[in-house]
Amino acid sequence: MADPKLTRAGFIALIGEPNAGKSTLLNRMVGAKVSIVTHKVQTTRARIRGVAMEGASQLVFVDTPGLFAPRRRLDRAMVAAAWGGAADADIVVLLVEAHRGLTEGVARILDGLAERGQRATVVLAINKIDRVKAPALLALAKEMNARFPFAQTFMISAERGHGVGDLRAWLAEALPEGPWLYPEDQIADLPMRMIAAEITREKLTLRLHQELPYQLTVETEAWEDRKDGSVRIDQVVYVARDGHKGILLGHKGETIKAVSKAAREELAEFLGRKVHLFLQVKVRPGWLEEAERYSEMGLDFGDGA
């Protein structure tokens, strides 16, 4: 490990509206897939931390759920987790989509930052810059900075990587001096069982449509490291209604088989070894109101009250 006198380390919270690109940015910063990325909004539930190294600096990213107007208990717990992540951070990065600009949701986030008297340094990252022309980008940057005193503004494309290196280098220099918080080779502090569940949930989200993905959760029930170097993973998919179970299984079990295959392949690549994945679907009508399900997702049940 490097000399603690010369090292920097700290927590960086990525906040923004759902689908602003927070998970994509986290995965690009870390250089590995630690947060699920889908075309659907509100897919990130837990505060996933990814760890990136930049020179002698260790950047610990807190990927928060998107900030939106909450309706259900799960929504409220997710929003509480997002603000909690921002409150715990040394630096907050607000991601805004270039083509959407200063929306009502972004305005609410800016008001929230101002109301909370944010102790952390707050920087603005305008994402998806390839979708708009330069004059519109500059106008948005000016408008945003007139609303809030950002320490710095970055123009990036998390998906393509444009500007991400500049943002990471700036963050590395801005973090407080101190010893590293994690071993150098550790990319996420989320237990592997939860990462495995997230990967399966991503595949379900991509395969299914409409509201169903928000009415299900995945838990890793058992994890067995085998003598031949492979791993057996048993997971349960909880759904809220009987009808959902049929949708999940699909005709002759085709849907769940396809999901299982996709999840198994990604898990094998992520873990670097053979994976035996077994999925069960169970109906639990009240899972959205069960404290145990929230703790499995790394959320505080009380925050949804």
- Mean pLDDT of residues grouped by 10 in the chain (305 residues)? 70 84 84 54 52 87 60 58 64 92 88 74 94 94 94 95 94 92 67 81 79 70 89 90 83 90 89 90 75 61 54
| Same-domain status, 156 and 25 | yes
Whether residue 187 lies inside any domain: the answer is no
Terminal-residue alpha carbon distance, the chain: 43
Residues 196 and 169 in one domain: no
Q: Which of 174, 204, 237 is the last residue of a domain?
A: 174
Are residues 202 and 160 part of one domain? no
Does residue 161 share a domain with residue 75?
Answer: yes
Q: Are residues 237 and 140 in the same domain?
A: no
Q: List 95's β-bridge partners, or say none.
A: 16, 125
Which amino acid, one-letter code, is at 49? R
**Is the entire prediction scored with pTM above 0.75?**
no
Domain count, the chain: 2
Q: For the purposes of burial, counting CB atoms within 10 Å of the CB of 286, is it exposed (0-12), middle (13-18) or buried (19 or more)?
A: exposed
Whether 238 and 165 share a structural domain: no
Instruction: Please report whether residue 183 resides in a domain.
Output: no
| Same domain for 109 and 211 | no
Residues 215, 159 within the same domain: no
165 in a domain, yes or no?
yes
Residue 185, domain member (yes or no): no
What is the reported pLDDT for 190? Answer: 60
Which of 111, 146, 174 terminates a domain? The answer is 174
Taking CA atoms, 170 is separated from 59, 72, 146, in Å, by 11, 38, 22
Residue 135 bridge partners (DSSP) = none
Specify if 180 maps to a domain: no
**What are 231's strand-pairing partners?**
225, 275
Contacts of residue 188, Cβ cutoff 8 Å, sequence gap at least 6: 30, 32, 34, 48, 49, 50, 51, 195
pLDDT at 41 (0 to 100):
42
Within a domain: 61: yes
Identify the pLDDT of residue 162: 94
| Residue 71: inside a domain | yes
The whole-number pLDDT of residue 211 equals: 47
Domain housing 133: 4-174
Relative orientation angle of helices 134-147 and 104-115, to the nearest 10 degrees: 30
Lay out the sheet containing 275-283: strands in order across.
216-225, 231-239, 275-283
pLDDT of residue 44: 45
Residues 107 and 18 in one domain: yes
**Measured distance CA(124)–CA(143) in Å, rounded:** 12
CA 295 vs CA 49, 89, 194, 219, 291: distances in Å: 16, 21, 11, 11, 6
What CATH number does residue 199 fall under?
3.30.300.20
Say which CATH number the domain at 111 has: 3.40.50.300
Each residue of 54-83: b (16+ CB within 10 Å) or e? bebbbbbbbbbbbbbeeeebbbebbbbbbb
The whole-number pLDDT of residue 39 equals 45
d(CA 195, CA 189): 10
Q: What is the pLDDT of residue 40?
A: 45
- Residue 262 confidence (pLDDT): 93
Same domain, 166 and 22: yes
Among the three residues 145, 174, 203, which one is the final residue of a domain in this structure? 174
> Is the same domain home to 118 and 230?
no
Q: Considering the domain boundaries, does residue 299 fall inside one?
A: yes
Contacts of 116 (CB under 8 A, 6+ apart): 83, 86, 87
Q: What is the DSSP letter of 289?
A: G
pLDDT at 37: 46
Helix-then-strand count for the chain, H and E: 9, 9
Instruction: Indicate whether 128 and 232 sit together in one domain.
Output: no
| Alpha-carbon distance values, 140 to 167, 212, 214 (Å) | 18, 35, 32
pLDDT of residue 196: 86
**Kind of pairing, strands 275-283 and 8-16?**
unpaired
